[in-house]
Structure 1
Amino acid sequence: MHRFLADNRDELIARCRAKMALRRLSAAQNEELDLGLTLFLEQLIKTLKVERTSEPQRSRKVSGMPGGGKPALSEISESAALHGRQLLLHGFTADEAVHDYGDLCQAISDLAVERGESIDANEFRTLNRCLDNAIASAITEFGYQRDSAISEKAATALNEKLGYFAHELRNQLCTATLALSVIRQGDVGLNGATGHVLDAALVGLSHLIDRSLAEVRMAAGMPAQHRLLPLAGLVEEVRLSASLQAQAAGCSFAASDVDMRLAVDVDRDLLLSAIGNLLQNAFKFSHENSQISLNAYAVADRILIDVEDGCGGLPEGSAESMFLPFVQKGADRSGLGLGLSIARHGIEANGGVLSVRNLPGSGCIFTIDLPRHTADT
């Protein structure tokens, strides 16, 4: 069989190339498969030659042990592992990584039949052993490299997120510390502009922590802790902090009166975090002297909570992308770009929907849509 393979090496590779062409692989992918198959074919021929000598067991150094044993170093396993690594770099999937070895096996079988070449049982077992070890080594290395790349990407994203979080936390804390230092000197009072700066920094710290805790809960897959809560009480809870944010941002804020009979069955912390993120976003991007409003009301069997800002309107086609993590659409790049993403996940965890409606030339309205309930009386 080794003579048959050596004599028909070019024909076998050509048949494999034809199968690659049917899969419409790129030039770089074709080149990598060519290299991998050519090297494997040489090692298969070498294995078959050694098995016809007086020391056939030496072929194990080339092709490895039969399947089922512990992994052992061999020429095929080493080159197949490198092949698996390169397949990942060239954009193959795990399934595609197996096809090239299968193509060669099929080409050998078809050509042997066409040329009337008989393959005895021992040589066929050797072929299968070589294919088995090569595929196993290639896929093992392919999986290891893929998992390593995924882990590295996740670690990089986490480090970036932690870095941004620490930076934002430090900025807010520094602002609060400086404001408090000036107030302690006795030259200004708590009710002046410096006091407002301190209030805004503390509110910012509170929102940052609440937002981060909400994200941790959702990322950990913790179940929402639903309770029936009066809608009016929730709106009143965010009214004070929103008023402080409005002063710091140079905007005005108004919240509508809420029907005392309306209620929502929600996780309180996740809903308040979502509303807080929407309001923080509104104050951050609205023009100076704009009015930000919070309106909560019922329509049929739904509770709607609107946060309207004065950002001037959204760029065309940006409505959905602004909910993606780390996306920041405005000129103000402070923060993590996570607020709207966290808000949407928090609302969805409560069985609701968060959407945005553009008001060209004016602003936009973010709407939280939740099932309607009636407050206990």
Structure 2
Amino acid sequence: MMHVFLANNRNELIERCRAKVAQRPAREATAQQLQNGVPLFLDQLIRTLRTEQTSEPLDSRKISGPSGGGASLSEIGESAAQHGRELLKLGFSVDQVVHDYGDLCQAITDLAYERDAPFLIDEFRTLNRCLDNAIADAVTEFSYQRDFALADRQAVEIHERLGFFAHELRNFLQTATLAFTAAKTGNLSLSGATGSVLERSLDGLRDVIAHSLDEVRTAAGISLQSRMFSVADFIAEVKYAADLAAQIRGCVLTVSTVDPRLAISGDRDQLYSAVGNLLQNAFKFTHYHTEVTLDAYASSDRVLIDVKDHCGGLPSGNAERMFLPFTQNGTDKTGLGLGLSIARRSVEANNGVLSVRDVPGTGCVFTIALPRYAVSAS
């Protein structure tokens, strides 16, 4: 009888399944997988076959479930569902879930052929019923859990994207409000530097909205509008808006002279946003009445843009964590903790690198490194 054959050769069958799993690329038979997969199913199959040899053969359905599955619970169904959840956690694919049970079927068939063990047709039907129900429940649970995990990741990505959008809108709106207030209070003409800040902020609001609409249409991120431009002009433009923010925060912004021959290439709006976010971060955390410096210079084949503050330095091991979305350091929890994450994403989208260096007891230096170009002669 099949149940006697399976019981007598249980360890041999498990080892054969282990060997089949080990032969597949990127797969290893783990103790966790074997404990809740093939061994448990094999024991349930043996009990099912034994029960069908009793005077109450239909009691076997409590173990194996009915033919064709169904809504009724069974031991095989519950353990197979648990096995499917565990395989997902182990990083396996749905085809590997199916192969786990197919391996046992093949191992039983091969060993029975080698030992010339005769089985009844009804026993093969029971074996197929148990395998079908186990595979169906394992794959169903695996798929449910995979879909839940995917939906969770998509929700996080959507919230992050919405946060980026709101953060950038707020930055441009805040700068526009500062420029408008300065012009109104000082009775200044909008044709001067303050007017330029206001105009730039409104243009930034327009561009952020336009980029977001493009993203919705293409579902492929913000498309770059790359062009070459003067670093000196770019830094001067950044300085106009940053001066107002520095005054509000009670600190001093110092900007070094930039070599007029230096140029960079990329999406100017994205890079403007990146530097602006670094400066906003510096103004937020630098100590009151201290200095924030903005330097742009060439080093070999790169243009480096440094933003240095006087925040007192970083706690140990905190540098890279600062770039994670929705991460905030310090006691000031205004905002969403997205500025540095947006800055790094914008810089990397323009073939650059954003890094941070801790100056213990003093502050931080954020550095944007971009490919170096030269301003063409007019």
Q: Same fold (TM over 0.5)?
A: yes
1:309–1:12: structure 2 CA closer, same or farther, 3 Å change rule?
farther
Could you tell me how far 1:351 is from its partner in structure 2?
0.7
CA deviation string 1:128-167 (max 9, x = no partner): 6763664355224312321123203432564587589879
Give yes or no for contact 2:13–2:104 (8 Å, CA) kept in 1. yes
Q: Does 1:190 align with 2:197?
A: no
Question: 1:240 is aligned with what amino acid?
Answer: Y
Q: Does 1:30 align with 2:30?
A: no
Give yes or no for contact 1:305–1:368 (8 Å, CA) kept in 2. yes
Could you tell me how far 1:169 is from its partner in structure 2?
8.3
CA deviation string 1:238-284 (max 9, x = no partner): 11221111112111101112222211111011101110111111111
Aligned residue number for residue 101 of structure 1: 101
- For the residues of structure 1 that align with 2:122 and 2:41, how far apart are their CA atoms? 24
User: What are the residue-to-residue correspondences of 1:101-120 with 2, within 5 Å?
Assistant: 101-102=101-102, 104-109=104-109, 111-113=111-113, 115-119=115-119
Please state whether the residue corresponding to 1:327 is helix, strand or coil: coil
- For the residues of structure 2 that align with 1:208 and 1:15, how far apart are their CA atoms? 70
User: What are the residue-to-residue correspondences of 1:329-340 with 2, within 5 Å?
Assistant: 329-340=329-340
- For the residues of structure 1 that align with 2:172 and 2:373, how far apart are their CA atoms? 38
Please state whether the residue corresponding to 1:94 is helix, strand or coil: coil
Aligned residue number for residue 255 of structure 2: 255
Aligned residue number for residue 240 of structure 2: 240
Question: 1:309 is aligned with what amino acid?
Answer: D
Question: 1:269 is aligned with what amino acid?
Answer: D
What is the identity percentage for the equivalent residue pairs of Structure 1 and Structure 2? 47
Aligned residue number for residue 62 of structure 1: 66
Aligned residue number for residue 81 of structure 2: 84
- For the residues of structure 2 that align with 1:171 and 1:124, how far apart are their CA atoms? 70
1:147–1:267: structure 2 CA closer, same or farther, 3 Å change rule?
same
Please state whether the residue corresponding to 2:287 is helix, strand or coil: coil
Aligned residue number for residue 4 of structure 1: 2
Give yes or no for contact 1:251–1:288 (8 Å, CA) kept in 2. yes
Give yes or no for contact 2:211–2:222 (8 Å, CA) kept in 1. no
Could you tell me how far 1:301 is from its partner in structure 2?
2.0
Aligned residue number for residue 355 of structure 1: 355
Could you tell me how far 1:316 is from its partner in structure 2?
2.1
Please state whether the residue corresponding to 2:241 is helix, strand or coil: helix
Q: Which runs of no fewer than 5 residues in structure 2 stay unpaired? A: 19-27, 55-64, 187-197
Please state whether the residue corresponding to 1:25 is helix, strand or coil: helix
CA deviation string 1:333-371 (max 9, x = no partner): 222222111111111111111111111111111111111
Could you tell me how far 1:190 is from its partner in structure 2?
3.1
Give yes or no for contact 1:302–1:371 (8 Å, CA) kept in 2. yes
- For the residues of structure 1 that align with 2:6 and 2:307, how far apart are their CA atoms? 71
- For the residues of structure 1 that align with 2:296 and 2:118, how far apart are their CA atoms? 82
1:349–1:254: structure 2 CA closer, same or farther, 3 Å change rule?
same
Could you tell me how far 1:108 is from its partner in structure 2?
2.5
Please state whether the residue corresponding to 1:62 is helix, strand or coil: coil
User: What are the residue-to-residue correspondences of 1:289-300 with 2, within 5 Å?
Assistant: 289-300=289-300
CA deviation string 1:30-55 (max 9, x = no partner): 25765555445556778999xxxxxx
Please state whether the residue corresponding to 2:185 is helix, strand or coil: coil
Could you tell me how far 1:168 is from its partner in structure 2?
11
Aligned residue number for residue 370 of structure 2: 370
Give yes or no for contact 2:76–2:133 (8 Å, CA) kept in 1. no
Please state whether the residue corresponding to 2:316 is helix, strand or coil: coil
Question: 2:35 is aligned with what amino acid?
Answer: N
Q: Does 1:325 align with 2:325?
A: yes
Please state whether the residue corresponding to 2:117 is helix, strand or coil: coil
User: What are the residue-to-residue correspondences of 1:130-169 with 2, within 5 Å?
Assistant: 131=131, 134-155=134-155, 158-159=158-159
Aligned residue number for residue 288 of structure 1: 288
Q: Which runs of no fewer than 5 residues in structure 1 stay unpaired? A: 50-60, 65-71, 184-188, 192-201
Aligned alpha-carbon RMSD (Å): 4.8
Give yes or no for contact 2:204–2:269 (8 Å, CA) kept in 1. no
Question: 1:87 is aligned with what amino acid?
Answer: G
Give yes or no for contact 1:84–1:97 (8 Å, CA) kept in 2. no
- For the residues of structure 2 that align with 1:208 and 1:47, how far apart are their CA atoms? 75
1:171–1:367: structure 2 CA closer, same or farther, 3 Å change rule?
closer
